[in-house]
Amino acid sequence: MFAFIDGKIHSKDLGSIILEVNGIGYKVHTTENTINQVQVGEKTIIHTHLVVRDDEMVLFGFNSKEELKMFHQLRSVSKIGAKVACGILSHFTPEELTRNIYEGSIGNISKAPGVGKKTAERMVVELKDKLSAIDLASATVEPETQKEDVRHRETVDALMSLGYTKQEGQKAVKSLESETLSVDEMIKESLKLLMKS
């Protein structure tokens, strides 16, 4: 029904934003990635999908077409609904998820909220053949960059297991000069930064 909504970010909440258009506020359920990329007061385009249920209509929206496309892909997997799909895309970017599916990384995928080992296995089986060459190319990175991404991911995962949010962990890791640090050293340095803040 709605392909996108062009409006101003009125407010942000846990798991949703309010998008104001001509004096009307649309509540849009979304991912942490999208929430972190938009700012209150700014005009933006949110790519949307309307889910109609027996007792309500729920609008889901994303900051990018890539995230919306992956949302649809995830919902095509048996037993993955809209809320679980949003939770997965709060944990992974579309590129990260594509790479994990392509590599069959069941352990990594099952770390997303609402995803157990069986669901992760279904995602790999049902989505791997659906990913286009463009999806795979965009998820492919140079070996050194990939190695760094793995260290960053492991550090953020460790910080999340200690009670910090993904966004807090990512912010701390980005503040580090991490080229020569091991994962253990990155965790220690990140904890110092987080405790200071």
Residues 133 and 152 in one domain: no
Residues 126 and 184 in one domain: no
In three-state secondary structure terms, 7 is strand
Q: Which residue has the higher pLDDT, 56 or 133?
A: 56
What pLDDT score was predicted for residue 27? 97
Q: Would the pLDDT of 142 be above 80?
A: no
Residues 127 and 148 in one domain: no
Residues 87 and 132 in one domain: yes
Provide the CATH number for the domain around residue 164: 1.10.8
If one counts the domains in the chain, the total is 3
Residues 177 and 116 in one domain: no
Q: Which residue has the higher pLDDT, 130 or 32?
A: 32
78 φ/ψ angles, rounded to the nearest 5 degrees: -60, 135
Residues 113 and 82 in one domain: yes
Cα gap 35→32, rounded to integer Å = 5
What pLDDT score was predicted for residue 137? 55
Residues 69 and 58 in one domain: no
Q: Of the given ranges (78-87, 145-154, 163-172, 179-188), which has the lowest mean pLDDT?
A: 145-154
**Average pLDDT, stretch 57-61?**
95
Residues 133 and 148 in one domain: no
Cα gap 160→166, rounded to integer Å = 6
Provide the CATH number for the domain around residue 131: 1.10.150.20
Containing structural domain, residue 126: 65-139
Task: Tell me the pLDDT band of 145, cut-offs 50, 70 and 90.
Answer: very low
Q: Which helix (H) or strand (E) holds 50?
A: strand 43-52
pLDDT tens-digit series, residues 3-13: 999 999 999 99
| Of the candidates 41, 60, 134, the residue with the CA atom closest to the CA atom of residue 95 | 134
Q: Of the given ranges (4-18, 75-89, 126-140), which has the lowest mean pLDDT?
A: 126-140
Residues 126 and 98 in one domain: yes
Cα gap 74→83, rounded to integer Å = 11
| Of the candidates 90, 17, 28, the residue with the CA atom closest to the CA atom of residue 59 | 28
Q: Would the pLDDT of 149 be above 70?
A: no
Residues 73 and 97 in one domain: yes
